[in-house]
Amino acid sequence: MNYEKLQTFITVAGKKSFSEAAKLLYLSQPTITSQIKLLEKDLNTTLFERTTKQVQLTQAANVPYRYAKEIIKISETAEKEIMSMSDQVYGDLKIACSLTIGENILPQILGEFRKEYPLTSIIGM
- Mean pLDDT, rounded, for 36-50: 95
Domain that residue 110 falls in: 91-124
Per the structure, how many domains does the chain have? 2
What CATH number has the domain bearing residue 67? 1.10.10.10
Residue 57's pLDDT band, with cuts at 50, 70 and 90, is very high
Residue 46's pLDDT band, with cuts at 50, 70 and 90, is very high
In this structure, the answer to whether residues 111 and 66 fall within a common structural domain is: no
In this structure, the answer to whether residues 27 and 57 fall within a common structural domain is: yes
Least confident of 22-31, 42-51, 109-118: 109-118
User: For position 114, what pLDDT does the model report?
Assistant: 83
In this structure, the answer to whether residues 96 and 40 fall within a common structural domain is: no
- Mean pLDDT, rounded, for 117-125: 76
Helix, strand, coil percentages for the chain (3-state, nearest 5): 60, 15, 25
Which DSSP symbol is given to 69?
A: H
The residue with greater pLDDT, 49 or 94, is 49
In this structure, the answer to whether residues 109 and 72 fall within a common structural domain is: no
pLDDT greater than 80 at residue 124: no
Residue % of the chain over a pLDDT of 70 = 98
In this structure, the answer to whether residues 64 and 96 fall within a common structural domain is: no
Q: Where are the alpha helices (DSSP H) in 2-85?
A: 3-15, 18-25, 29-43, 62-85
Which DSSP symbol is given to 2?
A: -
Rounded distance between C-alpha atoms, residue 31 and residue 118, angstroms: 47
> Residue 48 carries which side chain, given as an amino acid letter?
F
Residue 125's pLDDT band, with cuts at 50, 70 and 90, is low
Rounded distance between C-alpha atoms, residue 11 and residue 24, angstroms: 8
Rounded distance between C-alpha atoms, residue 11 and residue 30, angstroms: 15
- Mean pLDDT, rounded, for 46-72: 93
What mean pLDDT value characterizes the chain?
88
